[in-house]
């Protein structure tokens, strides 16, 4: 869990880190903290997994990775841990999750995100997954993204 | 908009964790063999050009006691923009993508409490009259996420 000071820090950073030589000093000033105190707090948030990493989020589309397919699969529940681990380890799979089915509309329980420069490349990668899953896969589909409708990341609600 | 080799090296490096030190850009610039000024000016430009959508800490809502949930809706084509405005108005909607399927709107809810997910999804159902299917993750098989620039 996070305390009030952590919350202030997260609120100050959720829009991003300033692109200046001493970004933490700049943020610390707006929070009325000193730079070392802020760095200490951030290190603690990181060790607790609240901050996963401090990094850039690229726009896939602008990088030429214009095809993005969410591949979905219906596999035996008893085998999903083993199969999911194998699919998640593939270099072209960026996210891989087990999720609940929503029957009857949605029979799929394994989701693997595949990016490529075009749909042909994504289909080739999808065929590799099909080959690995083999007979254990009862149904499959792919959902291409056609438009980013929103991308902001986590926003904390301002508490009154 | 074109990216040169230096831009690409920067993008690849900056998707990995930045050191938690007073002058993090100086050490990354040194790794890349460029000056801190050049690194910062290129980052500013790539952010302005929306090649970088965001730069900063990636928070894990679950570690703060909160939750994430992937949700999907089957939105009729002629209502799409109206529904989109209502869905995106919720601050809990962190990402939203249009996809090729009868379930054509896929978004991630990020909330501070597990109950917040149900509250937000229920509110969206009430406002739009469309069912919000919920697909919370049961197991994660890989957490790395990088794109080769």
Residue B88 is assigned to a structural domain of this protein:
yes
Instruction: Judge if B126 and B72 occupy the same domain.
Output: yes
Instruction: Judge if B82 and B108 occupy the same domain.
Output: yes
A4-13 vs A35-47: helix crossing angle, rounded to 10: 100
Of A16, A50, A62, the CB nearest to B60: A50
Q: What is the per-residue DSSP string for A6-23?
A: HHHHHHHHTT----SSSH
Residue B125 is assigned to a structural domain of this protein:
yes
Taking a contact as any Cβ pair under 8 Å apart, which residues of chain A between 77 and 106 contact chain B? 80-81, 84-85, 87-89, 93-100, 102, 105-106
- B52/A54 CB distance under 8 A: no
Burial class (CB in 10 A: 0-12, 13-18, 19+), A32: exposed
- Per the structure, the complete domain to which residue B15 belongs is given by 5-48
pLDDT at residue B85 tops 60? yes
The band of A157, judged by pLDDT with boundaries at 50, 70 and 90, is: low
Domain ranges of chain A: 4-47, 61-144
Of B55, B97, B137, the CB nearest to A97: B137
Residue B44 is assigned to a structural domain of this protein:
yes
Average pLDDT over residues B23-42: 97
Instruction: Judge if B82 and B126 occupy the same domain.
Output: yes
Instruction: Judge if B70 and B105 occupy the same domain.
Output: yes
Instruction: Give the rounded percent of residues in chain B with a pLDDT score beyond 70.
Output: 93
Of B53, B64, B92, the CB nearest to A1: B64
| A31 contacts chain B (CB < 8 A) | no
The band of B26, judged by pLDDT with boundaries at 50, 70 and 90, is: very high
Instruction: Give the rounded percent of residues in chain B with a pLDDT score beyond 90.
Output: 75
Instruction: Judge if B42 and B69 occupy the same domain.
Output: no
The band of A160, judged by pLDDT with boundaries at 50, 70 and 90, is: very low
| A149 contacts chain B (CB < 8 A) | yes
**pLDDT at site A82:** 93
pLDDT at residue A85 tops 50? yes
Residue B130 is assigned to a structural domain of this protein:
yes
The band of A15, judged by pLDDT with boundaries at 50, 70 and 90, is: confident
Indicate the pTM of the whole model. Answer: 0.72
Instruction: Judge if B86 and B31 occupy the same domain.
Output: no
**pLDDT at site B67:** 86
Of B105, B135, B147, the CB nearest to A60: B147
Instruction: Judge if B69 and B124 occupy the same domain.
Output: yes
| Minimal-distance CA residue of chain A relative to B37 | A21
**pLDDT at site B149:** 59
Average pLDDT over residues B59-77: 87
**pLDDT at site B148:** 61
pLDDT at residue B76 tops 70? yes
**pLDDT at site B63:** 75
- Mind telling me how many Å the CA of A103 is from chain B's nearest CA? 10
Beta-carbon-side half-sphere exposure of residue B79 (alpha carbons within 13 Å): 13
Instruction: Judge if B37 and B66 occupy the same domain.
Output: no
The band of B75, judged by pLDDT with boundaries at 50, 70 and 90, is: very high
Of B84, B101, B143, the CB nearest to A149: B84
Q: Which CATH number fits domain A61-144: 3.40.640.10, 3.40.50.720, 3.20.20.70, 3.30.70.920?
A: 3.30.70.920
Residue B15 is assigned to a structural domain of this protein:
yes
pLDDT at residue B143 tops 60? no
Instruction: Judge if B65 and B20 occupy the same domain.
Output: no
Contacts of B15 in chain A (CB under 8 A): 55-56, 58
Residue B103 is assigned to a structural domain of this protein:
yes
Contacts of A146 in chain B (CB under 8 A): 98-100
Q: Convert the pLDDT of each residue in A25-83 to its tens digit.
A: 999 999 999 999 999 999 999 999 889 899 998 887 788 778 889 999 999 999 999 99
Q: What does the CA dihedral B19, B24, B29, B32 come to, rounded to 10 degrees?
A: 10
A4-47 and A61-144: identical CATH topology: no
For residues B97 and B61, what is the distance between their CA atoms, to the nearest angstrom?
20
**pLDDT at site A153:** 58
- A54/B20 CB distance under 8 A: yes
- What is the CATH architecture assignment of A4-47? Orthogonal Bundle (1.10)
Instruction: Judge if B66 and B119 occupy the same domain.
Output: yes
Instruction: Specify the CATH number for the domain of residue B83.
Output: 3.30.70.3460
Number of domains forming the structure of chain B: 2
Contacts of B49 in chain A (CB under 8 A): 62
> To the nearest 5 percent, what fractions of chain B are helix, strand and coil?
40, 25, 35
Mean pLDDT of chain A: 90
pLDDT at residue A17 tops 60? yes
**pLDDT at site B112:** 82
- A81/B103 CB distance under 8 A: no
Residue B55 is assigned to a structural domain of this protein:
no
For testing the chain B interface, which of A5, A56, A95 should be mutated: the one with the most B CBs within 10 Å? A56
The band of A159, judged by pLDDT with boundaries at 50, 70 and 90, is: very low
Average pLDDT over residues A12-32: 95
* Cβ within 8 Å of residue B137, ≥6 positions away: A97, A98, A99, B68, B70
Task: Check residues B15 and B146 and name the one with the higher pLDDT.
Answer: B15
**pLDDT at site B91:** 92
**pLDDT at site A109:** 98
**pLDDT at site A158:** 47
Pairing of strands A51-58, B52-59: antiparallel
Assembly ipTM? 0.72
């Amino acid at each position: 869990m996070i305390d009030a000071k952590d919350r202030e820090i997260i609120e100050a950073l959720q829009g991003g880190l300033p692109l200046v030589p001493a970004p933490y000093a700049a943020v610390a000033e707006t929070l009325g903290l000193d730079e070392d105190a802020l760095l200490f707090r951030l290190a603690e948030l990181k060790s607790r997994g609240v901050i996963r990493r401090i990094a850039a989020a690229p726009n896939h589309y602008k990088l030429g990775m214009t095809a993005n397919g969410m591949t979905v699969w219906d596999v035996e529940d008893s085998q999903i841990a083993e199969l999911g681990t194998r699919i998640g380890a593939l270099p072209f799979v960026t996210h891989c999750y087990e999720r609940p089915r929503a029957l009857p509309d949605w029979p799929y329980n394994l989701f693997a995100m595949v990016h490529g420069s075009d749909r042909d490349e994504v289909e080739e990668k999808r065929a590799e997954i099909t080959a690995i899953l083999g007979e254990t896969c009862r149904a499959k589909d792919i959902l291409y993204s056609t438009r980013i409708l929103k991308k902001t990341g986590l926003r904390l609600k301002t508490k009154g | 908009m074109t990216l040169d080799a230096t831009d690409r090296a920067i993008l690849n490096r900056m998707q990995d964790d930045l050191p938690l030190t007073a002058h993090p850009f100086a050490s990354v610039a040194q790794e890349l063999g460029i000056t801190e000024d050049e690194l910062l000016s290129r980052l500013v430009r790539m952010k302005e050009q929306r090649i970088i959508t965001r730069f900063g800490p990636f928070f894990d809502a679950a570690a703060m006691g909160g939750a994430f949930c992937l949700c999907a809706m089957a939105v009729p084509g002629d209502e799409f923009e109206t529904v989109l405005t209502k869905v995106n108005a919720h601050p809990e909607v962190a990402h939203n993508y249009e996809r090729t399927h009868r379930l054509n709107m896929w978004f991630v809810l990020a909330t501070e409490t597990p109950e917040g997910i149900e509250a937000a999804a229920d509110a969206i159902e009430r406002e739009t009259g469309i069912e919000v299917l919920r697909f919370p993750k049961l197991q994660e098989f890989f957490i790395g996420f990088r794109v080769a620039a």
